């Protein structure tokens, strides 16, 4: 083992010990003094290695999130002073960073109205603050791009990729906080204490993720993943909408997806691969198929997909396709399908103006052998509103 590797392992072990102390709320000051010289030598890869190790332990997620926030405050200076690699203009990471900068500016703009509402709790100021946070809300699409493009790539190319699972949990916190503060500001009985607390959480969390992106995650990606692979990741993001700073069409090289023309025997008919693709993509549902080895093998691309998918998800372990707060539910479903105790699971949720039905079906052979899981998601608001019968064509002409 090289001397560098030995030193890095020692720094990662030290960060784990500090994190455990922060969770237990004991001996933090003593340990910080003990490891002061090692803390001064920290590099981004050390943080990634430590979080990866912690995520593999049976730790409470909420406690771990709080501990990591405190840990990064303790080690802020050496990480902030570290001179990281910078993304080249018009690359995926560059666009993500540029969108981070816009979000930071929008947070400052919201801060102006936040000060005003604490001086004058009027409907007019509340409306301005509400609009300010609604302007920030599209920024969460950056997190969707990270989860669907970057995270699958890191799972393939890094052994210590599990830091992204923790980051996904922070993403979800920000999404929920933004929706909550907008609802609070819409209320006639505004609770300024809750609004201020939520605004503080939003600002802290977005800026914390911005710091971790730009000082830890992205520099490590640039130092460990080939430029050609990163360029492909930008191409894969073509179907996802960047919120503020958007790539030009010339930044994408759309891959040739032309398929062969041999018909496929489906048992009740034979049709061309291109026809199969068209049929699946014209169904009013999102389809995702996960094989018996828990690997994502296919997803449909209807005109209006409810949940985003990109080619980066193909071959990905289904465990890594969900945030840590809900992954245990997916695992429970798949295991029940695998052992044959269940064949179907259904959920229904409200997503803004949409009412979405999400169903999981066990895929089995005629002999009952488990061959995977089919996820089907559908917007059912219009279906729920149907009453009576409609036997005549009514196109509203």
Provide the phi-psi class of 267: left if phi over 0, else alpha when psi is between -120 and 50, else beta: left
pLDDT at 392: 85
d(CA 156, CA 229): 11
pLDDT at 1: 54
d(CA 247, CA 90): 7
- Which tokens go with 208? 């914390």
What is 264-384's CATH topology? Answer: Beta-Lactamase (3.30.450)
CATH superfamily of 92-239: nmb1532 protein domain like (1.20.120.520)
pLDDT above 70 as % of the chain: 97
d(CA 272, CA 221): 40
DSSP 238: G
Q: What is the DSSP string of 103-138?
A: HHHHHHHHHHHHHHHHH---HHHHHHHHHHHHHHGG
- Residue ranges of the chain with per-residue pLDDT less than 70: 1-2, 253-261, 397
Strand 370-379 relative to strand 354-364: parallel, antiparallel, unpaired?
antiparallel
Residue extents of the structural domains in the chain = 3-81, 92-239, 264-384
Quick one: how many helices (H) and strands (E) in the chain?
Answer: 17, 7
pLDDT at 267: 86
Q: What is the DSSP string of 267-328?
A: SS-EE-HHHHHHHHHHSSSEEEEEETTSBEEEE---SS-SS---GGGTT-BGGGGS-TTTHH
> Do the Cβ atoms of 244 and 105 come closer than 8 Å?
no
Q: What is the pTM of this model?
A: 0.84
305-308 long-range contacts, CB within 8 A, separation 24+: 306/351, 306/354, 306/356, 306/377, 306/378, 306/379, 307/377, 308/144, 308/148, 308/239, 308/240
Topology alike, domains 92-239 and 264-384: no
- Which tokens go with 326? 């809900």
pLDDT at 253: 63
> Do the Cβ atoms of 177 and 65 come closer than 8 Å?
no
The interaxial angle of helices 123-136 and 92-119, nearest 10 deg, is: 170
pLDDT at 351: 87
d(CA 105, CA 210): 12
d(CA 153, CA 155): 5
pLDDT at 148: 94
Q: What is the DSSP string of 313-371?
A: GTT-BGGGGS-TTTHHHHHHHHHHHHTTS-SEEEEEEEETTEEEEEEEEEEE-TT--EE
DSSP 102: H
**Cα distances (Å, whole numbers) of residue 49 to 16, 55, 275:** 9, 10, 46
Residue 49 in 3-state DSSP? Answer: helix
d(CA 304, CA 242): 17
d(CA 215, CA 87): 12
A 10 A CB-CB count for 36 gives 9
pLDDT at 123: 95
Q: Which of 331, 396, 339 is nearest to 360 (CA)?
A: 331
pLDDT at 3: 74
Buried b (16+ CB within 10 A) or exposed e, 117-155: beeeeeeebbebbbebbebbbbbbbbbbbbbbbbbbbbb
């Amino acid at each position: 083992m090289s001397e560098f590797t030995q030193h890095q392992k020692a720094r990662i072990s030290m960060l784990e010990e500090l994190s455990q102390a922060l969770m237990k709320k004991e001996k933090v000051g003593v340990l910080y003094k003990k490891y002061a010289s090692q803390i001064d030598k920290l590099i981004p890869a050390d943080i990634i290695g430590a979080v990866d190790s912690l995520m593999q332990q049976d730790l409470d997620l909420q406690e771990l999130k709080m501990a990591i926030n405190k840990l990064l405050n303790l080690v802020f200076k050496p990480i902030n002073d570290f001179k990281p690699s910078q993304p080249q203009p018009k690359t995926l990471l560059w666009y993500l960073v540029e969108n981070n900068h816009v979000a930071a500016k929008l947070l400052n703009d919201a801060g102006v109205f936040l000060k005003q509402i604490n001086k004058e709790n009027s409907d007019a100021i509340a409306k301005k603050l509400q609009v300010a946070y609604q302007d920030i809300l599209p920024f969460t699409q950056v997190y969707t791009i990270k989860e669907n493009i970057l995270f699958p790539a890191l799972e393939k190319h890094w052994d210590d990729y599990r830091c992204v699972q923790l980051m996904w949990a922070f993403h979800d916190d920000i999404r929920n906080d933004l929706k909550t503060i907008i609802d609070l500001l819409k209320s006639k009985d505004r609770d300024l204490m809750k609004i201020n607390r939520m605004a503080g959480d939003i600002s802290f969390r977005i800026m914390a993720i911005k710091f971790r992106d730009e000082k830890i995650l992205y520099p490590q990606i640039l130092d460990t993943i080939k430029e050609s692979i990163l360029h492909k990741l930008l191409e894969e993001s073509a179907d996802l909408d960047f919120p503020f700073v958007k790539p030009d069409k010339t930044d994408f090289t759309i891959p040739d997806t032309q398929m062969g023309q041999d018909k496929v025997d489906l048992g009740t008919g034979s049709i061309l691969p291109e026809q199969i693709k068209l049929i699946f993509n014209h169904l009013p549902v999102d389809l995702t198929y996960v094989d018996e080895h828990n690997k994502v093998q296919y997803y449909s691309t209807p005109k209006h997909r409810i949940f985003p998918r990109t080619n980066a998800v193909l071959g990905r372990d289904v465990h890594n396709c969900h945030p840590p707060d809900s992954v245990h539910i997916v695992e429970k479903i798949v295991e029940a399908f695998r052992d044959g105790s269940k064949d179907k699971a259904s959920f229904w949720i409200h997503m803004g103006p949409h009412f979405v039905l999400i169903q999981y079906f066990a895929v089995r052979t005629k002999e009952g052998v488990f061959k995977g899981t089919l996820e089907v998601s559908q917007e059912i608001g219009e279906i729920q509103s149907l009453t009576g019968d409609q036997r005549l064509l009514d196109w509203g002409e």
